[in-house]
């Protein structure tokens, strides 16, 4: 069912962004923003009419900013910057990434500080609504002067150059424009620069990484609670008084999630007076570790939402003051550092989950059959599933190395410090995929452990989780082809079926 979204530029919420990712959503500009767009474009036209010089309008770019361009060459200038900057390489971005890049670029330009004509913004909206997605290579941006190469590939579509993807098929840009009801545009002064300057590619990637981080976070809370019961762990470390004296709000929130999930567990009641004093940290310190992850995820989310609504091209047109100012809003350091923070959180969620898998498969800690299978020796059980989890966790450790601390000067040293935001954000989805694989293995291991505790039952909430898993994956009674079980559990996580239990 089609849904119409009326865009008020600069006012997107996270819920709006998720709605825009839905291909059934079409977009229109709120009429209140039209005047600001037109006034901004008039300021650019006035510069040309009065034969003044302004960076990006009638000058070269980067190190060539002092080179004045004659009026007769201005159309060529804007086309040339798009063509020369469309120098990306690597795999193409997924349609969801390109869709969000388009939405964020429309949102930024429509605020009326970029000097872009209304018809150019409307052309982007036509592409968005027609689900015609420019083919954008995933590599080639250092996240300073904006995401130049990715956004140049996006912009090339508007002038009929390059390729697009529609309904899963790659077609020429001209064909894509026809589907969207468009002809190739002739870009006006400053429009090429405004289109390819900005942080929309890195921000889109980071937002999608943030959404994926949320998925694996809440799934890992559920699997962590299941593992506590499967390993005959204690819920005392989740007591609200312990969290209160430390004072971290998200630690307190995670502890409550775990208490709620474990409420009413008969397994817990069965060993409430046991002699075991303390559980290993992967069980006991979940509020502290996962709470820290959640705190940093929320920080990143706030930063990325600000950036999603930002004007990040250059120079900026302040029509009310009849002035054009050159600055550095294109530098994506906020996005890079937020993405680095998300990477750390995603890696730690997976690292803690992997440790719980190792605990459950070790009878010295879990008091369950070795590798969670009867007749260990004949059967290897979860032995190599834990190895897979360890491999994924280790891969994430390498990927989590901060990207924002790296910088290579570009553009003949004019751009002497860069953010690396696009790579910082691009690795987040693969990292979240790795963590989803780890948490999927924990989900299977914890359910296997619960089976071995029968006839005792876990809490009503967790019994519902257990039943959901057993609808898809049977008890592991002897060795069988394991990969389909992991795939089924991973699908449960990636379709957000566990988040409803919190």
Could you list the active site residues? Answer: 55
Cα 462 to Cα 262: distance, rounded to the nearest angstrom: 7
Cα 423 to Cα 238: distance, rounded to the nearest angstrom: 37
Under 8 Å CB-to-CB from 316, ≥6 apart: which residues? 113, 114, 324, 325, 326, 327, 329
Distances (CA, A) of 24 to 20, 167, 168: 8, 13, 16
Distance of CA 185 to the CA centre of its chain: 31
| Secondary structure in 3-state letters for 423-467 | HHHHCHHHHHHHHHHHHHHHHHHHHHHHHHCCCCCCCHHHHHHHH
Helices 200-230 and 286-308: crossing angle in degrees, nearest 10, is 160
Cα 365 to Cα 33: distance, rounded to the nearest angstrom: 62
Query: Structure tokens of 266?
Result: 């008969």
Instruction: Give SS3 for 222.
Output: helix
Instruction: Give SS3 for 184.
Output: coil
Q: What single-letter DSSP state applies at residue 94?
A: P
Q: Which of 263, 266, 270, 274 is nearest to 235 (CA)?
A: 263
């Amino acid at each position: 069912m089609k849904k119409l979204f009326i865009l008020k530029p600069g006012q997107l919420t996270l819920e709006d962004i998720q709605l825009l990712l839905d291909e059934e959503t079409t977009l229109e500009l709120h009429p209140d923003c039209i005047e600001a767009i037109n006034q901004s474009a008039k300021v650019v036209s006035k510069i040309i009419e009065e034969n003044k010089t302004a960076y990006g309008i009638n000058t070269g770019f980067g190190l060539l900013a002092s080179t004045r361009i004659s009026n007769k060459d201005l159309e060529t200038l804007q086309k040339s910057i798009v063509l020369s900057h469309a120098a990306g390489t690597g795999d193409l971005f997924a349609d969801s990434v390109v869709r969000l890049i388009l939405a964020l670029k429309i949102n930024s330009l429509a605020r009326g500080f970029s000097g872009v004509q209304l018809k150019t913004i409307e052309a982007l909206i036509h592409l968005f609504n027609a689900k015609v997605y420019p083919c954008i290579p995933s590599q080639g941006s250092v996240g300073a002067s904006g995401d130049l190469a990715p956004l140049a590939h996006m912009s090339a579509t508007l002038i009929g150059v390059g390729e697009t993807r529609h309904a899963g098929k790659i077609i020429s840009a001209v064909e894509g424009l026809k589907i969207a009801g468009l002809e190739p545009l002739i870009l006006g002064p400053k429009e090429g620069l405004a289109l390819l300057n900005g942080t929309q590619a890195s921000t889109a990637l980071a937002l999608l990484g943030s959404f994926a981080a949320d998925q694996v976070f809440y799934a890992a809370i559920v699997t962590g609670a299941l593992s506590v019961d499967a390993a005959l762990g204690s819920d005392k470390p989740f007591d609200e008084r312990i969290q209160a004296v430390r004072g971290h709000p998200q630690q307190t929130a995670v502890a409550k999630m775990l208490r709620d999930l474990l409420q009413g567990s008969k397994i817990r009641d069965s060993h409430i007076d046991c002699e075991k004093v303390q559980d290993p940290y992967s069980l006991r310190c979940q509020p502290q570790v996962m709470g820290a992850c959640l705190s940093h995820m929320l920080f990143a989310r706030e930063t990325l939402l600000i950036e999603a609504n930002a004007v990040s091209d250059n120079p900026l047109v302040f029509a009310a003051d009849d002035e054009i100012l050159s600055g550095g809003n294109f530098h994506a350091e906020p996005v890079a550092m937020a993405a680095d923070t998300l990477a750390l959180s995603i890696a730690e969620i997976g690292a803690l989950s992997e440790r719980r898998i190792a605990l459950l498969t070790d009878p010295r800690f879990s008091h369950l059959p070795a590798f969670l299978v009867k007749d260990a020796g004949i059967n290897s059980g979860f032995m190599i599933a834990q190895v897979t989890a360890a491999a994924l966790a280790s891969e994430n450790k390498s990927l989590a190395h901060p990207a924002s601390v790296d910088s290579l000067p570009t553009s003949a040293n004019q751009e002497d410090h860069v953010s690396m935001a696009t790579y910082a954000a691009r690795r987040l989805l693969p990292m979240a995929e790795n963590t989803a694989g780890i948490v999927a293995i924990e989900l299977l291991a914890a359910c296997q452990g619960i089976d071995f505790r029968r006839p005792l039952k876990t809490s009503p909430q967790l019994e519902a989780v257990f039943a959901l898993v057993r609808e898809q994956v049977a008890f592991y009674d002897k060795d069988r082809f394991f990969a389909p079980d992991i795939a089924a559990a991973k699908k449960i996580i990636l379709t957000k079926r566990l988040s409803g239990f919190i």
